[in-house]
Amino acid sequence: MGPGEEDFEMSRGRLEAFSDGVIAIIITIMVLELRPPEARALSALRPLLPVFLSYVLSFVYVGIYWNNHHHLMHTVRTVNGWILWANLHLLFWLSLVPFTTAWLGRSGGGEWPAVIYGAVLLMAACAYFLLVHAIVALHGQSSELAKAIGSDLKGKLSPAFYAAAIGLAFVDERLSYALYVLVAAMWFIPDRRIESHVRQ
């Protein structure tokens, strides 16, 4: 291990540990919105269905980011200030997911909850894009990450779908929710490109 390499490893480890902690808190806040009804009848759960469905969708999204962030950190050898701020930028937008999830669930839908939900997803996608490119900028175009992401078709399609969903909310918010589910389905299967390159 050369001079300074241990510090870089500690920085990367602290970055990943901090991110994992924030994501765990985000999920905890979301699940606290699932408050059981006071009535004993099974039918009392019916009004909670929108809250539960919004929680499931957001849980999948946060899980996707956690999974991809975990694989992303395996390509990081060193950390600089740009990476730290790009990572914080991503965590900022993810930290707003519980708020938008709660509004979506409590309101039972509607155009503006759909718009704000999509806006947060769009900004989180952009923040992840910036984090990836901050890492590539530091490690170079010949790095494992640069080779792994390639053209990154899913990464480019997702923001486009979010933007379309935001616009469609003013036509029929159900179309927006359908697009949010579609993007989540696109990413539900973990992206193995980075993992494969790291193993090689």
Q: What is the pLDDT of residues 108-121, one digit of tens each?
A: 878 999 999 999 99
Closest CA to 102 of 57, 135, 150: 57
pLDDT digits 0-9 by tens, 90-145? 999 999 999 999 999 988 878 999 999 999 999 999 999 999 889 888 877 766 77
Reported confidence tier of residue 199, pLDDT bands at 50, 70, 90: low
In this prediction the pTM is: 0.87
Q: At what angle do helices 5-31 and 97-107 cross, to 10 degrees?
A: 10
| Chain position carrying tokens 């993810």 | 94
